[in-house]
């Protein structure tokens, strides 16, 4: 039998969640976000322009003016949020768990211990594939709210992460 110990844990000296150095997402992922934004902005403004050309009588001039002012403002806001959101996303693979931080207004930090991971998926978006990026999704039994999705990781690193997670799951059994 192993030597059994049952010392008091010093809760003050446990590894602290708040002092983790988070790894930022790959800067190339910024291009993916920019592409998505360009698509959204393109479709929105394009749609408005087409509408303005073909059926200018749908709205009165005053409303067109309001739309003309509000659209650029809201698009600017979307872009700002996207940039802040990108900057605030970060992840960390600790010895025993994976931590992901995200959020613009609220900072959300989600932790999954490796021994609670159910399975892992790798996603490669169309644009991401050209840049050699992938998204790692970690599933637990706790439903969709408790899954972690880490975008913007280099393909090779993502494969390694997947292997690491699978290895960790394996080891605990």
Partner 1 sequence: MRTDFSQPQRQSAVGIWVLFFYTLQQYARAFWPIFLVFFFRLKNFYLGYIFGVIGLFLVLIALISYLKYRNFTFYLDEENQEFIINEGILNKTKTAIQLNKIQQVNINQSFIQKIIGVYELQVDTAGSNKKEGNIKAISQQLALDLKACLLENEGKERILGQNEPGTAAEFESNTTITPFIKISFFSLLKVGITSNYQRTIALLVLFFSTVFESLSKLSDQETGYEQDFGAYFDYSQGLKAIIMGFFMVLVAVLLLNIIRVFVQFFNFNIAKQKGSLLLSYGLLNSKSTIVKPEKVQITTVTQNYFQRKWGILDIRIKQATGGAEEQRKSAIEIPGCDPTERDAIFQLLFSKLPEKGIEFIPNYRKLVFGLFIAVVIPVALFFGLANTFFPEIMEYVGWVPFYVVLMIVLQYFKFKNYRLYIHPEFIIKTSGAWDVSEAIILPQKIQAITTSQLFWHKKADIGSVILHTAGGNISFQLANYTVLKEHINRWLYELETSNSNWM
SS3 (DSSP) at 168: helix
User: Could you say whether residue 111 binds partner 1 (CB under 8 A)?
Assistant: yes
Residue tagged 């399975």 (tokens) = 119
Task: Name 98's bridge partners.
Answer: 93, 112
Count of Cβ atoms closer than 10 Å to residue 81 Cβ:
12
Q: What's the sign of the alpha-carbon dihedral 142, 145, 147, 148? A: negative
Residue 126 as a binder of partner 1 (CB under 8 A): the answer is yes
Pick the piece of the chain touching partner 1 (CB under 8 A) from 35-43, 61-69, 72-80, 159-167. 159-167
Q: How many residues bind partner 1 (CB under 8 A)?
A: 50
Please choose, out of 4-12, 28-36, 52-60, 61-69, the segment that lies near partner 1 by the rule CB under 8 A: 4-12
Binding of partner 1 by 9 (CB under 8 A): yes
Distances (CA, A) of 25 to 4, 39, 75, 87: 43, 21, 23, 8
Q: Which stretch binds partner 1 (CB under 8 A): 11-19, 21-29, 47-55, 72-80?
A: 11-19
Candidates 15, 46, 68, 72; binder of partner 1 (CB under 8 A) is: 15
Q: According to the binding rule CB under 8 A, does residue 24 interact with partner 1?
A: no
Q: What's the CA gap between 120 and 149, in Å, rounded?
A: 10
Tell me which residues in 38-57 interact with partner 1 (CB under 8 A): none
Q: 3-class SS at 26?
A: coil
Residues near partner 1 (CB under 8 A) are 9, 11-12, 14-18, 96-97, 103, 105-116, 118-126, 129, 139-148, 162-163, 166, 169-170, 172-173
């Amino acid at each position: 039998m192993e030597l059994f110990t049952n010392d008091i844990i010093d809760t003050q000296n446990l590894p602290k969640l708040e002092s983790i150095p988070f790894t930022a997402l790959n800067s190339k992922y910024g291009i993916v976000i920019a592409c998505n934004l360009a698509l959204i902005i393109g479709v929105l403004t394009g749609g408005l322009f087409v509408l303005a050309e073909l059926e200018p009588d749908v709205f009165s001039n005053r409303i067109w003016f309001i739309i003309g002012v509000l659209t650029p403002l809201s698009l600017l806001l979307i872009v700002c949020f996207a940039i802040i959101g990108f900057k605030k996303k970060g992840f960390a693979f600790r010895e025993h768990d994976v931590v992901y931080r995200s959020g613009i207004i609220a900072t959300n930090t989600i932790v999954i211990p490796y021994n609670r991971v159910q399975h892992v998926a790798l996603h490669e978006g169309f644009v991401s594939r050209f840049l050699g990026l992938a998204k790692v999704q970690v599933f637990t039994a706790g439903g969709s709210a408790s899954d972690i999705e880490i975008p913007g990781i280099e393909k090779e690193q993502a494969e390694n992460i997947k292997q690491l997670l699978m290895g960790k799951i394996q080891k605990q059994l």
